[in-house]
């Protein structure tokens, strides 16, 4: 199998894995500093972890936490736009969006390298698990699965729980995304880590590597790190190529900036050798719109 295309189209992307504190101002300042640092190391796109501007808010159902949300545009999104323009990089940032009274979303924004807002993605799949009570806070997204034209190429963004759904990756890839980003906040319960930790992490990474293979795209997932409340976020942010190979992976237990070069022409090479998109039987998939197919 030929793995190296003849005409490289190389871009450098960066994933920011950081520890958050109770201070929104400090978290945003730290993120802006990481964007600057990544740009200084040659990054052309910087993606931040899920809800980077604060502690993960969904470990309990607390009405007071709605005060952390902001409209878009708003102070934090404006700061990301200014950082994109100042450093000449594309920025992907996940925000707690206040859309209207009583309507809040877990929203990722994409700002082009001149600071222009390319668009928003509102998290479609909303979990409701112990310490992940997101249905209390977030209205399911209504913008669909999207891709965004940026200076480095066309990218797609899904958010955390979306990463477990092959339909989300497929539809984003079918809209032209070349790199699929998953801002994430996932971790271990300390009492489960010794027994289940390795398999939980392996399942998480394997799922996204499978999206890279099945769709012939690059996949990049920046995750939180550090302990917050009862959760120990496992870090391990990574980038995988269209063959599912992990190009770089951050540690489990410390902050990191991954700067990874991706040759976007590998996508065509992978898709012509493994022509999964060509061979899809789109005439036979109608039942995918059903919740379950009873016998």
Tokens encoding 104: 């809040």
Q: Is 50 a known active-site residue?
A: yes
> Which position among 44, 123, 158, 178 bears the catalytic label?
123
Can you give the length of the chain in residues? 295
Question: How many whole angstroms separate alpha carbon 44 and alpha carbon 61?
Answer: 38
CB-count burial class (<10 Å; 0-12, 13-18, 19+) for 283: exposed
Question: How many whole angstroms separate alpha carbon 24 and alpha carbon 247?
Answer: 32
Q: Is 135 a known active-site residue?
A: no
Between strands 225-228 and 231-234, the pairing is antiparallel
Q: Which residues are catalytic?
A: 50, 123, 160
């Amino acid at each position: 199998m030929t793995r190296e295309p003849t005409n490289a189209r190389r871009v450098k992307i960066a994933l920011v894995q950081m520890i958050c504190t109770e201070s929104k101002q400090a978290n945003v300042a730290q993120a802006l500093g990481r964007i600057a640092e990544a740009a200084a190391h040659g990054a052309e796109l910087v993606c931040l972890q899920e809800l980077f501007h604060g502690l993960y808010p969904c470990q309990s159902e607390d009405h007071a936490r709605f005060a952390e949300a902001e409209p878009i545009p708003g102070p934090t999104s404006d700061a990301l736009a200014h950082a994109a323009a100042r450093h000449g990089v594309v920025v992907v940032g996940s925000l707690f969006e206040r859309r209207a009274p009583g309507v809040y979303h877990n929203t990722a924004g994409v700002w082009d390298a001149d600071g222009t807002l390319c668009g928003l993605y509102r998290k479609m799949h909303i979990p409701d698990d112990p310490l992940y009570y997101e249905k209390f806070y977030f209205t399911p997204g209504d913008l669909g699965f999207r891709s965004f034209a940026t200076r480095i190429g066309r990218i797609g963004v899904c958010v955390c729980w979306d990463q477990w759904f092959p339909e989300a990756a497929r539809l984003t890839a079918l809209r032209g995304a070349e790199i699929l980003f998953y801002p994430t906040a996932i971790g271990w319960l300390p009492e489960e880590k010794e027994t289940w930790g390795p398999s939980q992490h392996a399942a998480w990474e394997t799922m996204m590597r499978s999206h890279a293979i099945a769709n012939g795209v690059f996949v990049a997932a920046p995750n939180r790190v550090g302990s917050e409340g009862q959760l120990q976020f496992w870090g391990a942010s990574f980038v995988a190529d269209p063959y599912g190979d992990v190009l770089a992976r951050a540690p489990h237990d410390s902050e990191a900036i991954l700067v990874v070069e991706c040759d976007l022409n590998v996508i065509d090479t992978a898709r012509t050798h493994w022509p999964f998109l060509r061979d899809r039987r789109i005439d036979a998939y109608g039942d995918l719109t059903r919740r379950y197919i009873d016998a």
